[in-house]
Each structure stands twice: as structure tokens, then as C-alpha cells.
Structure 1
């Protein structure tokens, strides 16, 4: 199927010679709403209201740095022969969510140590915000016409794609070909995960387990969605998609750590700070 539709402009506004892109505006919106959600919950649980503002001052630069390092490592062949400054050219694209996650988690762990706060408490509070930010952030990929799947077949269009709103499918038309809107699939999956985590918060699980639930939920959906994408990073010298491998490892590690922490008595405090009832 061939289409001829003009895509949305990637530029949100131009301030003189400086363009402000939709991608950045959408990412910033997701971060702001995630911060709002975490701040409300931190205050409810008795933490300082601005604790996550303080954390983000360090976590955002670390997340960007690690997201770029992660991407460059798995795309090294692309950068090895390029000018050295290309490694730092984030504005040309090339960051990875798993790298950002590594950077932000390490920063949160160090931050918690310095502040004398439970890392698991911070991680649990942040978990729904991470899914909210990721769900919104994927729409930056929509504006950039990236992170999409392969071409839509006629059967796929007739059976499923035609029911997706036109403003979405039209933006997935690149050089006359319509591609799978995998950004949309992941965004919806993350919204469903957000609803689940907000419910689990009320159930009051053991401390740390809300964060592990986030890792399991996100990784499970990412494993299948990644198989549809055309821009995957691959393990060097193999046809193994890195995001799928990391997803499997995160699920296995999360389940193992939940079991281990309960077994060893490291998860005796509930999400809201209560000790488990004795029966």
C-alpha cells in the first residue's frame, strides 16, 4: 500500500534561530507529570515534598548520559569511523531507555545513601511515574516518525490498523509506506501498567516490590513490542535484540530478588512503612 500524506512538523516553535522540537516538549511534559505524581505520593508518605525535585537534578543528566553511552556501545561500528564529536551528538538521535534506567537507578541509589533514605521506598514511589513518563515520552517518537515497526500489510490494515485514528496512522506513513505504530503499542501498555501499579499501591505490597512490578510489566511488553521494531540495537555479532535480552534478564532478576528479599527478611516493611502483621 502506498500513501502520500504530509507528516506533522517536528518543530514546536522557533525562538529566533533556535528551534524547539516537539520531541523535547513531549519528553519534558512526561517528566513534569511524573514528578508531580511522585511528589504527591512522597508527601503522603511523610517525605519532604521536594525530595524528588532534588533527586531529578542529578538523575536527569545521569539518565541522558547513560542512555547515550548505552546506545553508542551497541552501535559502535557506526561511530568508530566517524568524527569524535559524533559520539556526543545526542541532538542527531540515539539514546536508549534501558541506559537511562541504569543511570537513574544508580543515581537514586547514591542519592538515597547520602540522604539516609530507603532506596526501595524512593524506587517504589517513582515506579508509577516512570511508566507515566514513558507512556507520554513515546509520543515524541510519534512526532519524529521513529521507533516504528515494519511496513503494514494489507491484512494487518484490514484487521487492525484501520481502527487506529487517522492522525496516528498518517504520521506513520514514511515515503509513501505505512509502518506499524509500535510507539503507540508501548504507550498503551505503559498506561495499563500505570493503572496496575496505582492499584498495587493500595494493596500495600512489601517495600521494593512495586518497583520490581514495574520492571516486570514494562519488560514483558517491551519484549514482544521490540520484535516488531525496525530500529533495534543488536548484541555485537549476533541477531539477538539487546532490548529483548535485557527484558528477559530484568524479569528473571526481579522475580529472583523478590523471592530472595522475602526469604532473607529484607522485605519486612510494607510500601506504606508498616511492618507485616503476625499471624
Structure 2
């Protein structure tokens, strides 16, 4: 819809600043802010957040790129593996990023002596905040959109606000859709209403985060519970939305039934069940809000 913030002319040609990158950074920042606040509430030193986030971001981007190429552009990757490092054209799969960030984060938590289950309950749902913001970047870039919904647009809600298309009302489900303009370089279906799957996932991820936050605050029964519930609920959301996706770069279909993300959702959901079965009797270990020691304050130069 609005892929580029601005273009700066340089001696080496135009330098483009993409809206997708802005929302990606905002997503990381939002996830870090939520994680940092909750770390202090459960007694984990927030100083560990910076190295944790640095490791998670690098591993997350690497995992997102890897799953994207394995699932959607395998032939292009095999022909030129160096495109893995070219982020200018996008190409990241959320599941790959989440898996990469989680594995690297868990390794760091073991190294740093952090309670892995308690930290996972804090950090993993925060990823949903980052996803909610990041999907607005997908909306801006015109990727990850839905199939044509075979309905006529009745009213434009945005008029000419976005150069790449419009948000429109349609007479039937989904009642609100997207129309991409041709010759702008966004979207793979032009001139007809498509399901607004990016906006659905953005809203759905935020609703999941809010619901899990309520459980985390009021109904925790064991450490690892929020992690498990995230692993159970997000695959349902994602697999449902995948059924309406219509963009061309979203992974191959396996057995004629599953997209890459739907296939990954199956073991993710199973892992959530396994964690509940293994941990439901574990209880919640005692927590005290993290307090800065007086000695630490003495070391701070004013």
C-alpha cells in the first residue's frame, strides 16, 4: 500500500527507505519494551535483556530468511546462496524467525543462568506484539495478502491516501478488503478486492497477546504455561488465516493441503501440548520484583 517512506539520491544511485523495515524495527522495539518490563516483575535482571535481544534479533532474521528460501524460493537460493544476505527485497517467514530467536534465546538463558521457563513466559508472548506491529509492515509492502474475495467494492475508506491501493468495503464477508493498484509494484493480485490477511493477523496477534497477558497476571498455574498457551493458540490463528492467503510467495503446498506455515504449525501445536503435560504440576516458583542493589547505584556516575 505504501512500500517506500522516501528515496534519497546518492552518488551510487537511489537509496530507498522501506516502510516494511520501519515496522520491523518498531516490532522489535515493542517486543523488547514488554519483555523488559515483565522481566523486572518476575525478578529477572533486565540488564540481560540487551544481549538477549541482540542474539534473538540476529538468529531471528537468519531463521526467517532460511525458512523463506526453503519454503518459497528454494531454486533461487540454490542458484545464488548470497541472496540470503540481501534484505532489500524482503523475504522473511515469521515461523523461521520465531524458531531461530527462541533457540538462540534459550541457549543464552542457560549460559546466563536465567530461569528458562519463567523467561519464556515473559518473552515468547511479547513476540506476538512484535508480530502485530510487523504485519503492518507487510500491509505497507503489499505482501502476505489474501486471495480475491469475489465481491465488488462498494466504498473506499482511504481514497488516495496510499499510492499502492485502497482499503474498501465489500457487500459480504470479509466486509472490508484491500484493492491493489497495478503498476505500483505492490501486491500480486490487482484491481479486485482481496482478503486483508495482514490486518487480520496483526489484530489477531494483539488479541492473543492481551488474552495471554490476562492469564499471565491472574491465572498462572505453572511456569511455562504462557509459553504453552502461545504454542497452542498461535498455530490455530495462523493456519486459519493461511487458508485465505493469496500471495504468490508463501511456500509450496505439501500433499496438496498445507502451506509451509500450516505444516510448521502442526509440530508447534504438539509441542504446546507436550509442555502442558510435562509441566502442569510444576507450579509457579516464588517471584520477587527485581530491585537495583545499593551497590549497583553507587557504581552509577551522576
Instruction: Sort the TM-score into its range (normalised by shorter chain).
Output: 0.7 to 0.9
Partner residue in 2 for 1:4 = none
Choose from 19, 29, 33 the match for 1:32: 29
Partner residue in 2 for 1:97 = 94
Q: 2:179, 2:191 within 8 Å by CA — same for their partners in 1?
A: no
* Residue 198 in structure 1 maps to residue 213 in structure 2: yes
State the alpha-carbon separation in 2 of the partners of residues 128 and 237 from structure 1: 31
Partner SS state of residue 64, structure 1: helix
Please give the residue correspondences for 1:107-256 in structure 2 after superposition, counting only pairs within 5 Å. 107-154=104-151, 157-162=170-175, 164=176, 169-170=178-179, 174-202=189-217, 203-231=219-247, 232-234=250-252, 238-256=256-274
Q: 1:235, 1:241 within 8 Å by CA — same for their partners in 2?
A: yes
* Residue 12 in structure 1 maps to residue 5 in structure 2: yes
Consecutive unaligned residues of structure 2, counting only runs of 5 or more, are 154-169, 182-186, 289-302
How far is 1:177 from its partner? 2.1
Partner residue in 2 for 1:66 = 63
Cα deviations by residue, 1:183-211 (Å, 9 ceiling, x for unpaired): 11111111110111110111223101101
State the alpha-carbon separation in 1 of the partners of residues 209 and 286 from structure 2: 16
Identify which range, 107-116 or 67-76, moves more after superposition.
67-76
How far is 1:170 from its partner? 4.8
Partner SS state of residue 79, structure 2: coil
Consecutive unaligned residues of structure 1, counting only runs of 5 or more, are 1-6, 274-279
Q: Greater share of strand residues, 1 or 2?
A: 2
* Residue 257 in structure 1 maps to residue 275 in structure 2: yes
Choose from 46, 50, 53 the match for 1:53: 50
RMSD of Structure 2 on Structure 1 (CA): 2.4
Q: 1:169, 1:178 within 8 Å by CA — same for their partners in 2?
A: yes
State the alpha-carbon separation in 1 of the partners of residues 148 and 39 from structure 2: 44
Q: How many residues align?
A: 259
State the alpha-carbon separation in 1 of the partners of residues 151 and 59 from structure 2: 43
Q: 1:239 to 1:80 in 2, by over 3 A?
A: farther
TM-score, structure 1 as length reference: 0.84
State the alpha-carbon separation in 2 of the partners of residues 145 and 210 from structure 1: 32
Q: 1:74, 1:236 within 8 Å by CA — same for their partners in 2?
A: no
TM-score, structure 2 as length reference: 0.78
Q: 1:270 to 1:141 in 2, by over 3 A?
A: same
